[in-house]
Amino acid sequence: MNEERIIGKVSATEKNPSTTDEFFFWTDKGEILSPFDIVKVKHLPDDSSITYGVIEEINHVTDAPSHFTNYISSDFGDTNENIGNMNRLSMNFIKAKVICNTQNIYMPLLDGKQVFLCNDNDIRTALGLNEVKNPIVCGYLQMYKGKETKQIKVELNANFLIGPEGAHLNVSGISGLAAKTSYSMFLLNAIQQKFCNENGGDVAFVFFNVKGRDLMAIDEYNKDLTEKDKKIYKELGLDPKPFKNVTYYYPYNNIRPESVLTNAKTEDVKKQRLEGKAYAYKFPLENAFDRIDLLLANEDDSTGTMESCVNFIMNRQGEFKNVHNWTTLKETVKKYSEATSSTNNTKNEILPASWKKFLRILNKAVDTNGIFHDVETENDKDLSIEIKNNLVSGQVMMIDITLLDDNMQSFVFGSVARAIWEMKFETERDNIPKKVILFVDELNKYASTDTPKNSPILRQLLDITERGRSLGIILFSVEQFRSAIHDRVKGNCATAAYGRTNAIEVSKPDYRYIPKVYQNMMTRLPAGEYIISNPALRSLVNVRFPFNTYKQYPNG
């Protein structure tokens, strides 16, 4: 195959001139090209520089002045393909966006210049893949069709994914097989393989499982992984193996203390416990006093009355200075809720009605959830302490919150995020990970456009996304609709991955900078494909990724 095959010529007209940003070219109607394909044109001076362009729009035109003309020329509407009174002149008319020039010459391309297909090195040069420092694989792209199909490994500069140059990943798209979580886990597996060797490495991971038992066996091999996928992993420079050094944490079940609250099978949990890699987690009050505000994360407190109660408790004022467990906490709050109680005779008195409202929230949380208990056996762990004292580089902590209600999921997520922050700033030990990646699905629960501004979890997420890059706390987040996420959270994510979504979503302002044809592609992207935006890439890239290497459960 001729790697410099000519496919057309630049066409600059009065209506559609070449500019420094874009150009147009014609090609034969039988030439198969697609959006995201890259072409090259030899440019000034004396064709010694090369301009690369990425295809955005493809049009087919003929010399017919109107559709009525075509109707007439087909014997007044005969649909037989072989019937026609004349042969129309036709061509494909393509718009391409300039993404780079090899000599940084950005004069408009001249009319009549030949347009070529690219070889592998051309594609890497065009996208800046030949210049990637500290590379981390994010998938592969396929370009052109038929015999000329090319498969190119796509790598990002890890400094723009997990810091310090840029950080945080946001993945959006509708649910489905090989979708958001699968792509996130593919990237996270690649990061662990690159940065976490047998001696530990620089990165630790904290994941949340929110759907069934999807992620509760990520250290077990996917026996259904095909040879084709294994080959792709090898070509990407990755081992087709699952995560390593994984510890699973399940909510303590106060109804059946011998079990845990999870969708995972009992025998699987028992096996993990026997192997010393699974525990039940709790939040004893002694170490959760400064997390009581998280109980209000999803509560409407526009007047701030319950917040006053929480601040009074967290500051250990009044009778709360002697409270050491959740039961005593409830009893003490109940005292303050009684109008005739002498405890209400305090300066800046909080009304009994406010205490009663907070007591209802506290009772609902503590009485129906086993996570609000003291640690009693070696199989139980205080989750906050586990993170602050025992999280090390190379380790993956998988926290199951599937069967908890929305309020408790928020409490656990907020507590874990706060514990990571405290580990970085308040814990003194030699083996604190340089970087911690926090992966959370359904980000809309914690940082949506509807989340109250005074939400303590939203404040934590804003701290992480705005300051975490320099501190080594990295957020990998997932949601169905990007437009529903708080602007400051998604705006601070240096890398965005767009999966298949619907037409209503792509009409939102979040997608305004994306060319219309790419927006339309997002409504029909197949499983296993994402459109990636990253500061280190010169253009949006349509990447693919193989199936995950860890055990897959049917129907979650």
Rounded to an integer, what distance in angstroms lies between the CA atom of residue 460 and that of residue 464?
A: 6
292 — phi, psi (to 5°)?
Answer: -60, -30
Range name among 113-117, 138-142, 342-346, 367-371 with the lowest pLDDT average: 342-346
Indicate if 424 and 402 belong to the same structural domain: yes
Indicate if 379 and 516 belong to the same structural domain: yes
Res 86: pLDDT: 65
Residue 551 domain flag: no
Torsion region of 185: left, alpha or beta (phi above 0 gives left; psi -120 to 50 gives alpha)? alpha
pLDDT in tens, 310-335: 889 998 988 898 898 999 999 999 99
Q: What is the mean pLDDT of the chain?
A: 88
- Asked whether residue 533 carries a pLDDT value surpassing 60, the answer given is yes
Res 2: pLDDT: 46
pLDDT in tens, 261-282: 898 999 999 999 999 999 999 9
List the one residue out of 372, 447, 428 whose CA is nearest residue 404. 372
Range name among 80-84, 323-327, 411-415, 550-554 with the lowest pLDDT average: 80-84
- Asked whether residue 122 carries a pLDDT value surpassing 90, the answer given is yes
281 — phi, psi (to 5°)?
Answer: -110, 150
Torsion region of 111: left, alpha or beta (phi above 0 gives left; psi -120 to 50 gives alpha)? beta
- Of 338, 368, 398, the position where a domain reaches its end is 368
Residue by residue, DSSP assigns 295-321 as: GGTTS--TT-HHHHHHHHHHTT-GGGG
Res 21: pLDDT: 95
Indicate if 257 and 382 belong to the same structural domain: yes
**% residues pLDDT > 70 (the chain):** 94
Res 198: pLDDT: 56
- Asked whether residue 88 carries a pLDDT value surpassing 50, the answer given is yes
Mean pLDDT to the nearest integer, 505-520: 91
Q: Does residue 410 contact residue 294 with C-beta atoms inside 8 Å?
A: yes
Indicate if 78 and 170 belong to the same structural domain: no
Rounded to an integer, what distance in angstroms lies between the CA atom of residue 326 and that of residue 285?
A: 6
- Of 92, 127, 162, the position where a domain reaches its end is 127
List the one residue out of 426, 428, 423, 375 whose CA is nearest residue 395. 423
- Asked, as a colleague might, if the bond just before 164 is cis with ω within 30 of 0, I would say yes
C-alpha 510: how far from its chain's center? 15
Residue 304 domain flag: yes
Res 482: pLDDT: 93
Res 77: pLDDT: 73
Residue 401 domain flag: yes
Instruction: Give the domain CATH number at 223.
Output: 3.40.50.300
Residue 144 domain flag: no
Indicate if 11 and 90 belong to the same structural domain: yes
Residue 549 domain flag: no
Indicate if 358 and 418 belong to the same structural domain: no
Indicate if 329 and 380 belong to the same structural domain: no
- Asked whether residue 203 carries a pLDDT value surpassing 90, the answer given is yes
Indicate if 263 and 320 belong to the same structural domain: no
**Tokens, residue 29:** 């109607």
> Are β-strands 150-157 and 203-209 bridged in parallel, bridged antiparallel, or unpaired?
unpaired
Confidence of residue 95 (pLDDT cuts 50, 70, 90): very high
Res 1: pLDDT: 41
- Asked whether residue 4 carries a pLDDT value surpassing 90, the answer given is no
- Asked whether residue 479 carries a pLDDT value surpassing 90, the answer given is yes
Q: Which DSSP symbol is given to 211?
A: S
Indicate if 403 and 439 belong to the same structural domain: yes
Res 69: pLDDT: 82
Indicate if 164 and 275 belong to the same structural domain: yes
Mean pLDDT to the nearest integer, 71-99: 79
Residue 338 domain flag: yes
> Are β-strands 114-117 and 90-101 bridged in parallel, bridged antiparallel, or unpaired?
unpaired
The domain in which residue 353 lies consists of 286-368
Task: Tell how many helices (H) and how many strands (E) occur in the chain.
Answer: 15, 19
Indicate if 268 and 191 belong to the same structural domain: yes
Res 139: pLDDT: 94
pLDDT in tens, 353-387: 889 988 998 998 888 888 998 888 888 999 999 99
Range name among 80-89, 434-443, 486-495, 497-506 with the lowest pLDDT average: 80-89
**Tokens, residue 235:** 């070509």
- Asked whether residue 134 carries a pLDDT value surpassing 80, the answer given is yes
List the one residue out of 140, 234, 157, 235 whose CA is nearest residue 191. 157
**% residues pLDDT > 90 (the chain):** 59
Residue 453 domain flag: yes
Residue 553 domain flag: no
Mapping DSSP to helix (H, G, I), strand (E, B) and coil, where does residue 190 land? Answer: helix
Q: Domain tally for the chain? A: 3
pTM of the model: 0.89
pLDDT in tens, 227-256: 999 999 999 999 999 999 999 999 998 777
Indicate if 376 and 363 belong to the same structural domain: no
- Of 334, 368, 402, the position where a domain reaches its end is 368
Alpha helices by DSSP H, listed for 405-513, are 406-426, 444-447, 456-471, 487-491, 503-506
Res 555: pLDDT: 55
